[in-house]
Amino acid sequence: MRAVTTTEPGGPEVLTISDVPDPRPGPGEVVLDVAAAAVNRADLLQRMGLYPPPPGASEIIGLECSGTVSAVGDGVTDWSVGDRACALLAGGGYAEKVAVPAGQLMPVPDGIDLVTAAALPEVACTVWSNVFMTAALDDADVLLVHGGAGGIGTFAIQLASARGHRVFTTAGSPEKRERCVALGAEVAIDYREEDFVEVVRERTDGVGADVVLDNMGAKYLDRNIDVLADSGRLVIIGMQGGAKAELNIAKLLGKRGAVIATALRSRPVEDKSWICADVVEHVWPLVESGAVEPIVGNVLPLEQVAEAHRLLDGDGNIGKILLTL
């Protein structure tokens, strides 16, 4: 089969199309014939040699895809050859075929085409597991999403808004901020010119955000604690702003706040299967009703994988970038 491989760690130019052996399903696994794969920031880190796959996972880049089941392994009873699905992966998505644990497959939601479905697994599982399962956004809680125009941001805004929450977000350009508001954000804050702490506290009568979903890490740590409401939860899912920062524990204690850092890729198969099942139960109905939709900014053929990485690494993309096969 064709798959994207890397000659060495480096820039997008190291990504090449190669012939590699077809995967075979192990016990509890299925093989998908891939229709499309999505591009994530973790893929860029793996390309640079900074984010290796977990032990036993495919070395091929790609954390989510959609496709058609072409083979099933021993013990698989819920999936059959010919079924359409999207999958949360530990690796292997940038290829014509991928083997995946059956529990990490999800049916394509009604009304979503097979290619677009590739934009769903990583964002849906990340947002649901972090914002709702871990941080327990509930009742009248307020959510602040950093990077609202990205794949995770656009999904988080829609999902929280559809479930009745006030959502604030940060974004850099007027186009991105306008899109975030159209998706359900109450306010989209210009992080270059405005202080998101001041804006959120002003609009919440001094209370702040109950949950913050953060992709920046070190750069925003102190200000994220400032913006937290009492008993607020800061969930860090990325390090675009660095990995190390000083934590003011006294400030956190005063708010009875929590700082949580999570990663989806390295979780055990059992955990990811549980998250996928929860997403199908709670999130898919909102996707099927049209209340939440996958936002796709660019669709490119697999042969243009290097350009896809350049687009994601730039500042102009809104939503997900997909590679089609």
Q: What is the pLDDT of residues 258-273, one digit of tens each?
A: 999 999 999 999 999 9
Residues of the chain with CATH 3.90.180.10: 2-120+265-324
Q: Which residues are CB-contacts of 306 (< 8 A; sequence separation ≥ 6)?
A: 12, 13, 15
Three-state DSSP at 117 gives helix
Alpha-carbon radius of gyration of the chain: 19
Tens-digit pLDDT profile for residues 139-164: 899 999 999 999 999 999 999 999 99
Q: Which residues are CB-contacts of 325 (< 8 A; sequence separation ≥ 6)?
A: 2, 34, 35, 36, 37, 96, 301, 302
Residue 169, CA atoms < 13 Å, CB-side half-sphere: 33
Q: Whole-angstrom Cα distance, residue 237 to residue 96?
A: 29
* Residue ranges of the chain whose pLDDT lies below 70: none
- Per-residue confidence (pLDDT) for residue 7, from 0 to 100: 85
- Per-residue confidence (pLDDT) for residue 315, from 0 to 100: 83
- CATH homologous superfamily of 124-261 equals NAD(P)-binding Rossmann-like Domain (3.40.50.720)
Residues of the chain with CATH 3.40.50.720: 124-261
Look at residues 219, 230, 163 and name the one whose alpha carbon lies nearest to residue 196.
Answer: 219
Contact 144, 137 (CB under 8 A): no
CATH class of this structure's domain 2-120+265-324: alpha beta
Q: Whole-angstrom Cα distance, residue 309 to residue 62?
A: 12
- Per-residue confidence (pLDDT) for residue 219, from 0 to 100: 95
Look at residues 294, 13, 16, 15 and name the one whose alpha carbon lies nearest to residue 157.
Answer: 294
